A and B are shown apart, each in its own frame.
Chain A
Amino acid sequence: MEMIIRDIGFIIGTTLMYSTPLIYTSLGGVITERSGVVNIGLEGMMYFGAFVGAAVAYFTASPWLGLLCAALGGALFGLIHAVACVTFNAEQIVSGIAINFLGAGSALFISRLLFDGATQTLTIPNKMPLPLDFLFGEGRLFPSSGFMDLVFNRFATVYLAFFMVFVVWLVLYKTRIGMRVRAVGENPEAANTLGVSVIKIRYCAVILSGVFAGLGGAAMSIAVVSRFSNTLISGHGFIALAAMIFGKWKPQGAMLACLLFGAAKGFEIYLGSKGVPIPGDILAILPYLLTLIILVGFVGKTTAPGAVGKIFDKSGH
């Protein structure tokens, strides 16, 4: 019995850990798409964030500094996407594809420069701290490897992610700026006639989506694992995008969808650790298979923001 409870704790804990990078990134997706700009470049931004986070954490030995720089790195690519899509009215999908190549490419390029030609960083000296251990001392609040410990004793990035879901929800639905973001995403012409600057709002939203994707990448490279490697992100940005759609473009919905994807990963690891006679490669397909099923089943049936992906031209021509 105790064994089963511990197993459940393990699965929940792993689910939380693996959901975290997805939650950050899908929050980024929610913000940008709510403002009317599609950002399929989340994958590339996540990739770059994961590298910057791990590299900075390696050289400074500070995971927090790594996290901050990952956010800034993501913001940089957010800015590029914003310049292309908002200022120059580029096709948003094309710009996103370019960002995916650019994000991954520059991460690998800089990695080769800094780490003797390797496409991965070295192991970082300090991972993200576990706040419960930090506050109460290791194994003091909950007995080590007990159910409560497995579920709740998680990296700081995990707690921060769930807090961010609340913050993004609060901002989007309760504040002035959030209302303007949603209005711009639904009907930019209407917002423009009321003196709301579509350009400014979209710039902020797209850059913020980069920040969140960067955080998502770092939550992977300095918490879930302790280094960046070229296969680390492999589609997580796209899964986060799918989670955003499945979550109906709402922060809380996206969070639930990310937990579902995280659970798939949790099961994969649990089954793998139990030596279940299913090849690991098959288990590893699980989250992607789930993404495919959800996208086929739900895309088109949920309502996207009215103006998402449409070019807004202020001059009216």
Chain B
Amino acid sequence: MIDITKKFGDVVANNHISLTIHKGEVHALLGENGAGKTTLMNVLYGLYRPTTGTIRINGKAVSIRSPNVAISNGIGMVHQHFMLVEPFSVTENIILGNEPTRAGGIVDMVSAEADVMRLSQEYGLSVDPKALIEDLSVGSQQRVEILKTLYRGAEILIFDEPTAVLTPQEIQELVTIIKNLTAAGKSVIIITHKLKEIKQIADFCTIIRRGEHIDTVEVDKVSEEELASMMVGRQVSFKVDKPEQQAGAAVLEIKNLRVVDKRGIAAVNGLNLQLKKGEILGIAGVDGNGQTELIEALTGLARVQAGSIQVNGQELANQTPGTIRTNHKVGHIPEDRQKRGLVFEFDVAENLILSSYNTSRFSTFFILLRAAIYSNAEKLIKLFDIRPANAKITAKSLSGGNQQKMIIAREVSSNPDILIAAQPTRGLDVGAIEYVHQTLVEQRNRGKAVLLISFELDEIMNVSDRIAVIYEGRIVGEIKAKEADEQQLGRLMAGCSL
């Protein structure tokens, strides 16, 4: 890829980026969220047309107008959010768009299944060709995605954040698969912001920052710290500083909690948990093991079927979200900040009082006190460093990191006894992540209790004092963070006992 520029309106997503991939190598594309990695790869895969620049494959210039052209040039992509048709079988997903047919356009499933079987054995990607996608684990679904590209004769495979959804064990399997692929002469491009993985699998690494090509390096010759500072543009610390602190009395007690999900299946089933003052308790687990339902039950957003949730000895199961917030002093940084954290069309000041607009501070006789609302906003904007420092712009015009700061400002300023932080750093860049982590630690240092739910194991291990592993709606193990190791946690997350 030579001199690729891609603009969306006035926004330059890629600014004269060049990238060279050799046969049989693993090339990492490193950059923060929004740096333009995925855009660059979408250009290569024909999902976007470049504004300027050329792409050459084996020395020949090609114009990749659509995914079809990319596929016929041997380029395959494993998307971050899998592109699978859930009610279809593995084979149907793999052959879609490229179906072998008998006379009359009838799909020849027998030969298709045989082809899938052969490919999966050739590259060590075990899947059942007849299984339905919706019944498969995330790891297997990813293998189907890889098989999709191989079925189309891909020579260059692009992986977009392939490990984001995998357990540590599944990540190891993926590493083996990638080694098999390169051994067979395929080239692999990995989009990621995880430095450890780059060190583990990549041969070369290209760093992109704010749409600009920073450098291409041999992975063996640089350290993780060097890669990080190239990615962010300044020195960063990975370690979260926190003083030793003895946890206090229990403030939250969950006993035999049972919550059903939208399909009526018990997503939280017999969960027991205790949270103490002055500690950060991390809930580790693979997505979909009941985390969402647990958070919703704790915040009054979902019905508790059975069991109890006590805060300072008072029952809060099935109370309204408002009561839980104000009477029981539970703050909530929601998983989905766009849907549940903010009202996008409201301005910053209004978003900052969403949970306290009805207090005498901000309203009287049904009338909102504009002056108080805006002076509150000015104060919080300064205190939490929300940028741009303008209380009157809409929430949606802020960056993801600043949106999250706005939510944190609102929640922390209401001075909760318990702060529930669900995926608080999802989609944020390194600088914002540092900030969020510091805030959580400050809460803990002030003697508050913090419940941190995250799919990022590194985050859980760095920030928590104590780690509880959730699996199929139950806590299957608790470990002190200092004593935890990744392999052990990974096994618990996969449902194995210690």
- B-contacting residues of A (Cβ < 8 Å)? 174-177, 179-180, 182-183, 186-187, 189-196, 306, 315-317
Q: Is the CB of A190 within 8 A of B85?
A: yes
Known: A174-B107, A176-B99, A179-B96. A193 touches B88 (CB 8 A): no
Q: Is the CB of B106 within 8 A of A186?
A: no
Would you list 10 pairs from A and B whose C-beta atoms are within 8 A, ordered by A residue?
Answer: A175-B104, A176-B101, A182-B88, A183-B92, A187-B83, A189-B83, A192-B67, A193-B67, A195-B67, A306-B87
Q: Is the CB of A196 within 8 A of B97?
A: yes
Select A174's contact among B83, B85, B96, B106, beta carbons within 8 Å: B106
* Neighbouring A residues of B101 by C-beta, 8 Å: 175-176
* Neighbouring B residues of A182 by C-beta, 8 Å: 85, 88
Least Cβ–Cβ distance between A134 and chain B, in angstroms: 29
Complex Cα distance A175/B100, Å? 10
Q: Is the CB of A193 within 8 A of B92?
A: no
Residue picked from A183, A195, A315, most chain B C-beta under 10 Å = A195
Q: Is the CB of B97 within 8 A of A191?
A: yes
Select B105's contact among A177, A186, A187, beta carbons within 8 Å: A177
Q: Is the CB of B83 within 8 A of A193?
A: yes
Q: Is the CB of A183 within 8 A of B105?
A: no
Segment 142-161 of B: residues with Cβ below 8 Å from A: 148
B117 at the binding interface (Cβ < 8 Å): no
Least Cβ–Cβ distance between A245 and chain B, in angstroms: 17
Q: Is the CB of B105 within 8 A of A175?
A: yes
Least Cβ–Cβ distance between B97 and chain A, in angstroms: 4
* Neighbouring A residues of B48 by C-beta, 8 Å: 315-316
Complex Cα distance A311/B99, Å? 26
When C-beta atoms are compared, the residue in chain A nearest to B92 turns out to be: A179
B394 at the binding interface (Cβ < 8 Å): no
Least Cβ–Cβ distance between A308 and chain B, in angstroms: 13
* Neighbouring B residues of A176 by C-beta, 8 Å: 99, 101, 105-107
Segment 80-132 of B: residues with Cβ below 8 Å from A: 82-88, 92-93, 96-99, 101, 104-107
Q: Is the CB of B104 within 8 A of A194?
A: no
B71 at the binding interface (Cβ < 8 Å): yes
Tally of contact residues, B, Cβ under 8 A: 30
Q: Is the CB of A187 within 8 A of B47?
A: no
B8 at the binding interface (Cβ < 8 Å): yes
Select A183's contact among B67, B88, B106, B148, beta carbons within 8 Å: B88
Known: A175-B107, A177-B105. A195 touches B88 (CB 8 A): no
Q: Identify the 6 closest CB pairs spanning chains A and B, nearest first.
A: A194-B97, A195-B68, A190-B83, A175-B105, A176-B99, A186-B85
Least Cβ–Cβ distance between A284 and chain B, in angstroms: 38
* Neighbouring B residues of A193 by C-beta, 8 Å: 45, 47, 67, 77, 79, 83
When C-beta atoms are compared, the residue in chain B nearest to A186 turns out to be: B85
When C-beta atoms are compared, the residue in chain B nearest to A184 turns out to be: B85
Further pairs besides A179-B92, A190-B84, A193-B45: 6, Cβ < 8 Å: A174-B107, A179-B96, A190-B85, A190-B93, A194-B97, A317-B8
Q: Is the CB of A194 within 8 A of B148?
A: yes
B140 at the binding interface (Cβ < 8 Å): no
Q: Is the CB of B86 within 8 A of A187?
A: yes
Complex Cα distance A317/B85, Å? 21
B66 at the binding interface (Cβ < 8 Å): yes
Q: Is the CB of A179 within 8 A of B83?
A: no
Q: Is the CB of B83 within 8 A of A175?
A: no
Least Cβ–Cβ distance between A75 and chain B, in angstroms: 22
Q: Is the CB of B106 within 8 A of A175?
A: yes
* Neighbouring A residues of B71 by C-beta, 8 Å: 194-195
Complex Cα distance A189/B85, Å? 9
* Neighbouring B residues of A174 by C-beta, 8 Å: 106-107
Least Cβ–Cβ distance between A312 and chain B, in angstroms: 13
* Neighbouring A residues of B96 by C-beta, 8 Å: 179-180, 183, 190-191, 194, 196
Complex Cα distance A186/B132, Å? 14
Least Cβ–Cβ distance between A179 and chain B, in angstroms: 6
When C-beta atoms are compared, the residue in chain B nearest to A195 turns out to be: B68
Complex Cα distance A299/B61, Å? 53
Least Cβ–Cβ distance between A192 and chain B, in angstroms: 7
* Neighbouring A residues of B67 by C-beta, 8 Å: 192-195
Known: A193-B67, A193-B77, A195-B71. A183 touches B107 (CB 8 A): no
* Neighbouring B residues of A196 by C-beta, 8 Å: 96-97
Select A186's contact among B79, B88, B97, beta carbons within 8 Å: B88
Complex Cα distance A306/B84, Å? 11
When C-beta atoms are compared, the residue in chain A nearest to B39 turns out to be: A316
* Neighbouring B residues of A189 by C-beta, 8 Å: 83
Complex Cα distance A177/B101, Å? 11
Known: A176-B99, A176-B101, A195-B97. A187 touches B107 (CB 8 A): no
Complex Cα distance A182/B98, Å? 15
* Neighbouring B residues of A187 by C-beta, 8 Å: 83-86
Complex Cα distance A316/B87, Å? 23
Least Cβ–Cβ distance between B168 and chain A, in angstroms: 27
Complex Cα distance A192/B66, Å? 9
Complex Cα distance A174/B66, Å? 27
Q: Is the CB of A306 within 8 A of B107?
A: no
Least Cβ–Cβ distance between B272 and chain A, in angstroms: 33
